């Protein structure tokens, strides 16, 4: 905390110094390979289009040109370059689960949207989506809002919001983008992908979009081999990943109407392993999602707009493990298991926006629903045979949330000339959940404009995260205590966040931003073991098991600083850099325990093994490192662009199973070392429409870890060729 405060004071002083310099806006020109640092427009921060520099929040925009020029392999790679975001799995074998941590919040505390429609995995234990399923194939822009934004987006927006905006209409005529990519990232690895985007727009504004993306990867062994005995039997295999995305969109867009309906289908198949350091030669996950989005908006005039957005999504994940070979004779472990997990999401919102000189207002309401089901089967022929089945489909598990919200942006000039440099953003949201009842969130964000291109701001906001369906309703019951794993008395996790920040544009082509934030999450939901209340903690044994459940039992506090710099160093030479520092604590109080659910038994938190018979506090959050990124872009001509990327990830704790933590064991922590990666990429325009790109990833072949016991990619080389029907696409 002391280090964060020192950095905060330093950057306040630096920025006040910068404010004394005159500034003028930047101009643009040139063609498709010229790099210019321009103002970006986004809608996610306020639900209406606004210059990102004018928003009194920490925000980021990744446009379509950046997504293609920088040769990102996935959405996770693009997002990982943003300050405040760390995604576990980005550097691992393709297809590995990718979990997002924004500003130190949990992996289910970032709202992921596609065209304003929330994407989750209702069948997952904590409802967090897998970032690996996201596609860049039809993305027009990715918008990021850091910090709590529950007023506009509801549950899970505690750490931030990521919104992928898909392409709409273009100029009249046929437009297309064809791309082929191949590469390798280690011994015996290969990846091939093909992407096609087509658009046809009529002179009246009717448009048709179609996208197909396909990738096939023969990857690494996803787990680290720690067996050093040369005579030991090994049956380790390289893990494959195959992914296909299909997307179609039909719409109409003119000065007044914006109508569309779209369909997206994602399928992927990934070879998986058992756990850290333990390979599995015959386990596979098949995942598929169908996503339907639709919307309509009408501009009555320049002042008033009415908009409706809706979406429906279904997902299914099939997991099968058909035994593993365990010796040279070909014998297997005599087990078979499979499981099918299903979920569905529906989201419908109606909102109206009013824009008059000095005041913007958005008012809306919506209905959000989730359902889940699962079936699992396990069989082993060992010990005379054993079979187990589970079926949650018959329980009809579902929740619904009704909400109403309003968000305004008031400029001080309405109150007189003396206040014209002040602005105030504010909002509130009412939520009614069919299980836990009603909940309010609100935010307020004042800002002061020192000059036309310099602003200081602050924000105070509350947020929440609804318990998942599994946490609420999992029916597993302990035969001794009768306590169920699911707890329908769970309350939402609630957060209080504040942020102070600075933004400045300079006449020499520099842009600078800085933010300090603090977030406190109460009612944090934890998975816990329950143990016989009649025995002391230090003498508990297996027979003292009284079940397991989910409880609101913790408080998580995170704080940090974020710095972003964009600089036009010279003609054709640009710099992009950012840094993020985050620290956090997790604490538990015995007084927070729901005695009715635990029946007075001892409570042990599985995530760290602690017994909550006294106040417990742990310092340092799992998988939340300090990070920094720097990119140098050299653009000597309209036909050539090269880029050097450096990314630093600091040391952080990770988890492992520790059998010594209680009778059943729990999760302990292990330190994971820091690492620095350097990438080099280049793009060359062969003609007006044809380009080639190459990227050298991890050019120094750095050995590093993101998760304890799992491998990461080594030095890799990727090459792609791309043909555009026209340059208007980007």
What are the contacts of 78-82 at 24+ separation with CB within 8 A?
78/136, 78/142, 79/131, 79/142, 79/144, 79/162, 80/629, 80/647, 81/578, 81/629, 81/631, 81/645, 81/647, 82/144, 82/578
Please state the rounded mean pLDDT for residues 3-24.
41
Give 131 or 65, the one with higher predicted confidence.
131
What does the pLDDT read at residue 653? 95
What does the pLDDT read at residue 728? 60
What does the pLDDT read at residue 29? 33
Domain of 627, in residue numbers:
2-729
pLDDT over threshold 80, residue 20: no
| Residue 456, CA distances (Å) to 49, 215, 232, 499, 568 in order | 21, 45, 63, 11, 23
Place of tokens 């929040």: 57
What does the pLDDT read at residue 383? 78
What does the pLDDT read at residue 98? 94
* Residues paired with residue 612 on neighbouring β-strands, in sequence order: none
CB 631 within 8 A of CB 66: no
* Angle in degrees, CA 694, 700, 703, rounded to 5: 120
CB 295 within 8 A of CB 113: no
Give Cβ neighbours of residue 334 (< 8 Å, ≥ 6 apart): 323, 380, 381, 382
Task: Give the CA radius of gyration of the chain.
Answer: 26
pLDDT over threshold 70, residue 437: yes
What does the pLDDT read at residue 323? 87
Give 383 or 218, the one with higher predicted confidence.
218
Q: What is the mean pLDDT of the chain?
A: 90
What does the pLDDT read at residue 327? 82
For residue 11, name the pLDDT band (cuts at 50, 70, 90): very low
Of the listed ranges 39-43, 362-366, 460-464, 577-581, the one predicted with least confidence: 39-43
For residue 35, name the pLDDT band (cuts at 50, 70, 90): low
For residue 40, name the pLDDT band (cuts at 50, 70, 90): confident
CB-facing half-sphere around the CA of 351: CA atoms within 13 A: 27
pLDDT above 90 coverage of the chain, percent: 75
331: domain CATH number is: 2.40.170.20
What does the pLDDT read at residue 36? 52
In the chain, the number of structural domains is 1
Tell me the pLDDT tens digit for each residue of 184-201.
999 999 999 999 999 999
Q: In this structure, what token pair is assigned to residue 529?
A: 């073991």
CB 555 within 8 A of CB 493: no
**Distance between CA atoms of 473 and 301, rounded to whole angstroms?**
48
pLDDT above 70 coverage of the chain, percent: 94
In eight-state DSSP terms, residue 392 is: -
Place of tokens 């959940």: 433
Please state the rounded mean pLDDT for residues 474-481.
93
What does the pLDDT read at residue 13? 43
Please state the rounded mean pLDDT for residues 283-306.
95
Tell me the pLDDT tens digit for each residue of 653-710.
999 999 999 999 999 999 999 999 999 999 999 988 899 999 999 999 999 999 999 9
Q: What predicted TM-score, i.e. pTM, was given to this entire model?
A: 0.92
What does the pLDDT read at residue 32? 52
Q: Rounded to an integer, what is the distance from CA 671 to the centroid of its chain? A: 24
Please state the rounded mean pLDDT for residues 591-611.
94
**Distance between CA atoms of 673 and 656, rounded to whole angstroms?**
15
Pairing of strands 160-166, 110-114: parallel
For residue 638, name the pLDDT band (cuts at 50, 70, 90): confident
pLDDT over threshold 70, residue 333: yes
In eight-state DSSP terms, residue 705 is: -
Tell me the pLDDT tens digit for each residue of 218-258.
999 999 988 888 888 888 899 999 999 999 999 999 989 99
Tell me the pLDDT tens digit for each residue of 310-328.
999 999 999 999 988 888 8
Please state the rounded mean pLDDT for residues 5-10.
43
Tell me the pLDDT tens digit for each residue of 500-558.
999 998 877 788 999 999 999 999 999 999 999 999 999 999 999 999 999 999 999 99
Q: In this structure, what token pair is assigned to residue 571?
A: 């003609």
Please state the rounded mean pLDDT for residues 465-483.
95
| Residue 563, CA distances (Å) to 190, 572, 679 in order | 36, 24, 21
């Amino acid at each position: 905390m002391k280090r964060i405060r020192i950095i905060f004071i330093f950057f306040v002083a630096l920025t006040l110094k910068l404010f004394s310099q005159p500034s003028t806006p930047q101009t643009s020109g040139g063609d498709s390979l010229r790099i210019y640092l321009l103002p970006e427009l986004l809608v996610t921060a306020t639900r209406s289009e606004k210059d990102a520099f004018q928003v009194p929040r920490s925000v980021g925009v990744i446009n379509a040109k950046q997504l293609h020029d920088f040769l990102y392999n996935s959405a996770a790679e693009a997002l990982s370059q943003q300050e405040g975001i760390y995604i576990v799995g980005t550097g691992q074998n393709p297809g590995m689960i990718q979990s997002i941590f924004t500003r130190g919040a949990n992996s289910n505390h970032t709202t992921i949207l596609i065209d304003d429609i929330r994407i989750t995995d209702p069948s997952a234990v904590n409802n967090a989506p897998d970032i690996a399923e996201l596609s860049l194939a039809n993305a027009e822009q990715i918008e990021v809002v850091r910090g709590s934004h529950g007023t506009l987006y509801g549950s899970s927006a505690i750490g931030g919001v990521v919104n992928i905006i898909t392409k709409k209409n273009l100029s009249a005529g046929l437009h297309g983008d064809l791309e082929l990519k191949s590469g390798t990232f280690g011994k015996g690895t290969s990846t091939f992908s093909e992407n096609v985007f087509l658009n046809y727009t009529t002179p009246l504004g009717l448009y048709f979009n179609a996208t197909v993306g396909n990738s096939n990867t023969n990857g690494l062994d996803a787990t680290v081999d720690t067996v050093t005995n040369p005579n030991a039997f090994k049956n380790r295999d390289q893990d494959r990943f195959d992914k296909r995305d299909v997307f179609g969109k039909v719409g109409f867009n003119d000065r007044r109407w914006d109508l569309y309906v779209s369909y997206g289908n994602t399928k992927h198949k990934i070879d998986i392993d058992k756990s850290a350091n333990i390979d599995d030669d015959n386990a596979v996950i098949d995942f598929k999602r169908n996503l339907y989005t639709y919307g309509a908006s009408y501009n009555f005039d320049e002042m008033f707009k009415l908009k409706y957005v809706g979406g429906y999504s279904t997902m299914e994940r099939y997991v099968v493990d058909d035994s593993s070979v365990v010796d040279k004779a070909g014998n297997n472990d005599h087990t078979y298991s499979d499981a099918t997990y299903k979920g569905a999401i529906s989201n419908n919102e109606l909102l109206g926006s009013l824009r008059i000189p000095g005041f913007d207002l958005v008012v809306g309401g919506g209905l959000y629903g989730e359902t889940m089901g699962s079936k699992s089967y396990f069989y082993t022929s060992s010990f005379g045979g054993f079979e187990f089945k589970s079926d949650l489909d018959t329980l009809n598990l579902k929740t619904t949330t009704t909400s109403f919200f309003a968000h305004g942006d008031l400029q001080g000039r309405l109150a007189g000339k003396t206040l014209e440099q002040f602005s105030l953003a504010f909002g509130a949201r009412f939520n009614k959940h069919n299980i836990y009842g009603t909940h309010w969130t609100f935010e307020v964000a004042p800002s002061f404009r020192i000059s036309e291109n310099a602003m200081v701001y602050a924000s105070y906001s509350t947020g929440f995260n609804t318990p998942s369906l599994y946490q609420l309703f999992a029916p597993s019951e302990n035969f001794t205590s009768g306590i169920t794993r699911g707890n329908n008395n769970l309350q939402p996790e609630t957060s209080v966040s504040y942020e102070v920040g600075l933004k400045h544009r300079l006449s020499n082509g520099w842009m600078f931003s800085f933010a300090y934030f603090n977030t406190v999450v109460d009612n944090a939901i934890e998975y816990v073991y329950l143990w016989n209340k009649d025995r002391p903690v230090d003498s508990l044994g297996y027979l003292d098991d009284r079940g397991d459940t989910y409880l609101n039992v913790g408080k998580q506090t995170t704080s940090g600083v974020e710095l972003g710099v964009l600089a036009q160093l010279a003609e054709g030479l640009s710099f992009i850099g950012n840094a993020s520092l985050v620290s956090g604590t997790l604490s538990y109080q015995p007084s927070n325990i729901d005695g009715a659910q635990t029946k007075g038994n001892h409570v042990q938190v599985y995530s760290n093994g602690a017994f909550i018979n006294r106040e417990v506090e742990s310092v340092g959050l799992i998988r939340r490192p300090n990070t920094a990124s720097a990119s140098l872009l050299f653009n000597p001509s309209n036909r050539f662009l090269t880029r050097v990327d450096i990314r630093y990830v600091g040391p952080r704790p990770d988890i492992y199973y520790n059998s010594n933590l209680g009778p059943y064991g729990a999760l302990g922590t292990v330190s994971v070392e820091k690492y620095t990666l350097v990438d080099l990429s280049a793009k060359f325009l062969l003609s007006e429409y044809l380009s080639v790109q190459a990227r050298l990833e991890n050019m120094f072949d750095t050995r590093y870890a993101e998760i304890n016991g799992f491998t990461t990619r080594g030095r890799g080389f990727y090459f792609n060729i791309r043909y555009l029907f026209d340059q208007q696409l980007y």
